[in-house]
Amino acid sequence: MENPLLTTLIRENSIKYGSRTAIFYQDNDKSWLPITWTELWQSIEDTAKAMLASGVKPGDKVAIMSRNMPEWTISDYAIQLVRAVSVPLFSSTSAAQAEYMIHETECVLFLAGEQEQYDVARELIQKVPSLSKIVVFDRAVQLDKSISSEYFSDFQATGRGSNYDSQIQVLAGEAHEQDLCTIIYTSGTSGEPKGVMLSLANFLHCLHIHDLRLNVDDTDVSLCFLPLSHIFERGWTFNVLSKGMVSYYLRNPKEVVDVVKVVKPTIMCSVPRFFEKTYEGVNAEIAKSSALKQAIFRWAINVGGKRLDYIWNKKPVPHRLNIAYAIADKLVLAKGRGALGGNFRFMVCGGAALSLDIIHFFEQVGIHIKVGYGLTETTASVTCLLDDDLNTNSVGKVMPLLEVKIGENDEIMVKGGTVFMGYYKKPEYTAEVFKDGYFCTGDAGRLDENDYLFLKDRIKDIIKTSSGKYIAPQKIESVLTADKYIEQITIIGNERKFITALVVPASIAFEKLMKEMGLDKKSRVEQVKEKSVIAFYQKRIDAAQKDLSPYEQVKKIVLLPTEFTIQSGELTPSLKIKRRVVAEQFKAEIENMYNGDSI
């Protein structure tokens, strides 16, 4: 019997579904174009043959650096088909960062998406001896004739015209689920990037535990907008295509709020900022409406909340409440769902903490958010909420067939088929993170008696005040970034008497505020230093953190004129804040907040 591989599942789906659409992607005019299952598999085979024609051998490393396009996934499966190893890079990765990863893995082929990624690859092909060719997805890219590079469509044509069918069959027969599938570099928030080695078995086990937990089938539609270079969207896409769902590929993630209205997905994986932005947008629209419409909105949300109380407590909903809910749904709630396409059955959320207030809001509207927790080293999901898990601060119940326990310093430890093979060329780091067969995540948390996991924070991020209080900064940041005037925030306070914060204002809301305060003629640098503006933000922060313990509350803030970015080194490619970098870059501002330590 043939090995059950990820490519096997796609080939079987191509036979099963044939001319049915597997993938939609956007043309230059933003219209959606289809790729059938038959076309998808043919494209994968052509790409695999082209790789063989280019000299790619089993075990060779192939880099993929692109925004989300069908070519990304086609190449991913093709690399597996020739038993090579993919090395995904975020599309915004700098040349210096990319050089480290490409040099360490000795990539032989570089697959680039657009001009920005091609320019990085062009620089690297002259520095990394192993790199022999660049293949470019987008034909709008201007190729440099002095180096070995070609368009993906031309590359595929060489495979289509070659005779590598028998070699593909031999490689498929030799493939094993323990083969190394990919090397994904961690974002490096706490040190140099490390290449996480994931096997085909890791991904197959990931598919299996999701089969046991999620209720999905081939009638579902998903939107692929998070970076495919990240384990979250990558693993989710394997799941979507393996189950025969339709997947829409969105190249520009900034368009997601508008695109969901057109695509009308039934399921999707997302991150907290998507829900926070949507929540802020809804509240901003309601605030502009008439007093009557605001009253109707509040009544409808209240009815939705009362109905959820019965569902949470697993009690039958009273008939009168059901009638009221039907009216509320028609007047308000259905319109809320319509703003996100109207077809969502559930949305999976991971990557950071999400406020329970925001979760409740979406549940009241009728959109179920499945909060989960996972890492690259665990092939994403370690936990996920069940269908009827609503009123909980947990990040879900431990996934089937995984073992989770809490170790020293409340560290979350994981064992199971999704746990990675180790760090590439870093055996000493691998040894450090394994104990008694468990992977030590570096995250702090607790398990309840029903195997629900409650996160505290990254152990290395935990703040200890000078009075000995331990504080989880992400918890506070999650509460405060729900405010429409706050885009980013970093909590400060290790070995200090009290907690402070660096705050980046949300641009659009801030501009409107400046006009209202008569400060719109001043520069952003001047605006954030205005005492009245700082007082405005402190007042909103004080209101938002009223339910936090006194020692967790932010006492002083500094407003920053510009956002944290990947390019400035303050964010990782997965948009996590590099706390140590930020603390060093804004050392003077931080010290000013603690001058005198008066609070």
- Cβ neighbours, 10 Å, residue 314: 7
Local structure of 72: helix, strand or coil = helix
Residues 444-478 have pLDDT tens digits of 999 999 999 998 877 778 888 887 787 888 889 98
Tell me which residue of 117, 114, 115, 116 sits closest to 102, measured CA to CA. 117
- Cα distance between residue 432 and residue 420, in whole Å: 14
* pLDDT the model gives residue 238: 98
- Cα distance between residue 283 and residue 201, in whole Å: 45
- Is residue 1 scored above 50 in pLDDT? no
CATH topology of domain 6-176: Rossmann fold (3.40.50)
Find the mean pLDDT for residues 422-434.
96
Amino acid, res. 26: Q
Residue recorded with tokens 């933003």: 30
How is domain 270-459 classified at the architecture level of CATH? 3-Layer(aba) Sandwich (3.40)
> What does the block give as tokens for 506?
């949300």
- Cα distance between residue 576 and residue 188, in whole Å: 10
**This prediction's pTM:** 0.86
- Cα distance between residue 117 and residue 134, in whole Å: 10
pLDDT band at 391 (very low <50, low <70, confident <90, very high): low
Tell me which residue of 180, 125, 179, 185 sits closest to 150, measured CA to CA. 125
Strands (E), 376-451: 380-384, 397-398, 403-406, 411-415, 422-423, 434-435, 438-447
Find the mean pLDDT for residues 393-414.
95
Residues 218-256 have pLDDT tens digits of 999 999 999 999 999 999 999 999 999 999 999 999 899
The contacts of residue 127 (CB under 8 Å, 6+ apart) are 99, 103
Find the mean pLDDT for residues 285-310.
91
Query: Percent of the chain at pLDDT above 70?
Result: 97
**Cα dihedral 73/74/75/79 (nearest 10):** 100
- On the question of a common fold for 270-459 and 462-593, the answer reads no
- The ranges assigned to domains in the chain are 6-176, 270-459, 462-593
> What does the block give as tokens for 79?
């690399």
> What does the block give as tokens for 177?
């689920």
Q: What is the CATH number of domain 462-593?
A: 3.30.300.30
Residues 573-588 have pLDDT tens digits of 667 788 888 988 999 9
